[in-house]
Chains A and B, each alone.
Chain A
Amino acid sequence: MGLSGELALTLLTGVLVLIVFALATRFDDWRTYTPLAGGGALGGETGYGHDEKPGGIVRWLTTVDHKDIGILYGVYAIVAFAWGGLAVMLMRFELATPAMDVLASVGGRAFYNQLLTSHGITMLFLFGTPILAAFSNYFIPLLIGADDMAFPRINAIAFWLLPPGAILIWAGFFLAPFFDGIAASMTSWTMYPPQAVAQTAAGQDAMSYEYAGRVIASSEIDTAALNAGTDLMLLGLHLTGVSATMGAINFIATIFTERGSDVGWDKLDIFSWTILTQSALILFSFPLLGSAIVMLLLDRNFATGFFAVEGGGTILYQHLFWFFGHPEVYILVLPPMGIISYVLPRFSGRKLFGFKFVVYSTLAIGVLSFGVWAHHMFASGIDPRLRAGFMAVSLAIAIPSAVKTFNWITTMWNGNIRLTTPMLFCIGFIANFIIGGVTGVFLAAVPVDLILHDTYYVVGHFHYVIMGAIAFAVFAGVYYWFPIVSGRMYQRTLGKAHFWTTMVGTNLTFFAMILLGYGGMPRRYATYNGVTAEGIIGYFTNLHVIATVGAFILLVGQIIWLVNMVQSWLEGPVVGPDPWNLKEDGLPSREFDWHADRIETTLADGGEPAEDEPMTDGGEPVDADDDAAGDE
């Protein structure tokens, strides 16, 4: 297509965009929803806290309400969770046998590598961070007594950057059938150069080597042969990074400036503390990721040499990446720790033991997480003195995490424990987090790491933390706050089933991985039929089968969960103002006070027919006992 053709096409689409804009602005009188524009538009009849929202799908596309955005984040994260989960199921089925068979017909090793990359990036950036943003968006303003976020519109922008981000990250899969030169990226989630700089759609190397002369110049990359899927993925990642940074700024501003007058720093709840720390970590680390990605893109598309050997070298990338990457681990784990610290005491019948221990240790983790990044690079050949330094800080950071574990256990000690579904997930969190944490301490020690580096031990370790701990805390939060968000109660039997399948599946899958690591099974391999050592192939096969069975159990559990959530959201029994009987234990919480207020206001206003039920239903005693009674 010539330049003039492109111009014509552009003009045409430009006119289309303008028409869409014009229609959208005509569609509704937007000033009704924004009291800011024009004085006369301030609807006098809308009372306190009752802003009008547009109806239908437009409401969800245009909302700037923190609760709606929280729900959007949640739905988005669940879609991503499904994508990442299905990707890994394919990988696990492939790994059940040593040879390449399950995926052989759909692309073999290259496809496995694409799934691996997609699974990692999806789970970390499209599921992990957004699902935590879902909780924080919905509940932080409620917990600190704010009306909304400090910058509601920026909040909406931050969310809407995510769907295009996801589409771009997954774009390789969508485009591969139509373009020969495009495939999903195969760089793994770490995107190390030179692979990430010079990979073709077939997984080959587009870099023109001059091996004997040792000239490996990035300017010699055959850019036309590069996999555009990787470019799109990098762009998508960049967008999610921008989104996370905007969200973090918003949370910091909100927690600093929008706290209610009765919420001093001493009264700030533990979840808000962890979100504040997380936001600070995001603020300092995500720009690093963004810069590293931009440099990768420039290296790929514009022939720069940031990570070329004669430029900064590949170790430069690793430093930049892990300076972001390690704080990212704590970005993902701190809010779940906050959720556990917040929910667990509610079902232990007592306040959190050592509240201030948890706050101070959260802050300590926040600072120390920036001094440990090179423990991911122990095996990369960096100077042993550097390794020693990073090892020292890595061992020190274990303390604040371990302290929290003790706090949770002592909170439960002699408590009046109610084994509701959220509580089960809290306890599961602690159990899994201990395994994930202890294996991590071993990895922090240089000599141990050098042996276990790049084996399944590492995979087992971080999955114990990410799936066993973070996802468990997410589920605890989902069940605990489900009554507020949906106004209904979930089915407790399905909740229990979900917990047990998840607990069993997690431990089967990831403990097998730890044993695989001890056996020396390397990470990121689609096949292991090349292993020739006597006896070890059987060991690997058996453990891989166990891991696959565990993964299948996990899949079943998550389907149960999804069914439970959807069904209960639509048809679950309507809950009263205090579904967890928190008042009884003297553990009131701000968000449930708000929940009770909302029910009351709706009733007083005449409400909708369905909202009358809390009263006629007997409200809280029925539903809460329902859940609690079965649990005892």
Chain B
Amino acid sequence: MSKERVEDGAASSEGNRAVTDHKPSASLWPMFIAFGLAIAEVGVVVGVFVFTVIGFLMFTGAVAGILAEAGYVERPWVALGVLGTVVLALGIAVFGAFGGVVGGTELVAVPNAVAYRGLSMISAGALTILTAGVGSIRSELT
């Protein structure tokens, strides 16, 4: 998959250079994807708020990074925003389905452990979207 992109890129940028089957030799993201997935999984299943948020942040960030690096997306911040929205939507679904309520006397009512996990995913998604927003604004400024 990455092969064609290489050839395309090479052809467009340096037409005379025949890059055949050039493979990348280093990438920052794979390790973060793996660790992020692991941490997020532990966070959701065991129900650890911090792990959920950190794990999803790391996972979505690294996925957006690797997609940009491989040339599948133009701007990583947009990809990050989309991924964050997915996490947010999942969190809202879980939170809502298991009786979580926003508003009322205690502002955010978390009736059970499952809704709690939904809430942590909501936080993760929101934080991811926030990061994506800040990032894209910054990259547009520079």
Contacts and interface: CB of A to CB of B under 8 A. Distances in A.
Interface string A564-575: 000000000000
Nearest to A50: B25
Given A62-B31, A168-B42, A239-B37, A10 B54 contact: yes
A13 B50 contact: yes
A165 B47 CA distance: 18
Contacts of A153: 2, 24, 27, 29-30, 66, 69-70
B99 to A, nearest CB: 14
A36 B119 CA distance: 38
A234 to B, nearest CB: 8
Contacts of A21: 32, 61
Of the listed residues B19, B50, B57, the one surrounded by the most CB atoms of chain A closer than 10 A to its CB is: B50
Interface string B13-51: 110010101111111111111110111011001110110
A157 B33 contact: yes
Given A36-B69, A37-B71, A239 B38 contact: yes
Contact of B25 (A10, A18, A33, A163): A33
Contacts of B24: 33-36, 51, 64, 152-153
Contacts of B27: 30, 33-34, 62, 64, 152-153, 156
B9 interface: yes
Of the listed residues B9, B37, B38, B127, the one surrounded by the most CB atoms of chain A closer than 10 A to its CB is: B38
Interface residues of B, number: 53
Chain B at the A interface: SS class: helix
B25 A65 contact: yes
A62 B27 CA distance: 5
Contacts of A9: 49-50
A25 interface: yes
B25 A235 contact: no
A252 B119 CA distance: 40
B102 interface: no
B86 interface: no
A42 B26 contact: no
A13 B54 contact: yes
Contacts of B23: 51, 64-65, 147-148, 152
A18 B131 contact: yes
Contacts of A239: 34, 37-38, 41
Nearest to B23: A148
Interface in A133-159: 147-148, 150-154, 156-157, 159
Given A10-B50, A10-B54, A52 B35 contact: no
A305 to B, nearest CB: 16
A6 interface: yes
Contacts of A168: 38, 42
B26 A63 contact: yes
A156 B6 CA distance: 19
A54 interface: yes
Contacts of B31: 61-62, 156, 160
16 contacts: A3-B108, A11-B127, A13-B50, A14-B127, A30-B26, A33-B24, A39-B13, A64-B27, A153-B24, A153-B30, A156-B30, A156-B31, A157-B30, A165-B38, A231-B45, A301-B45
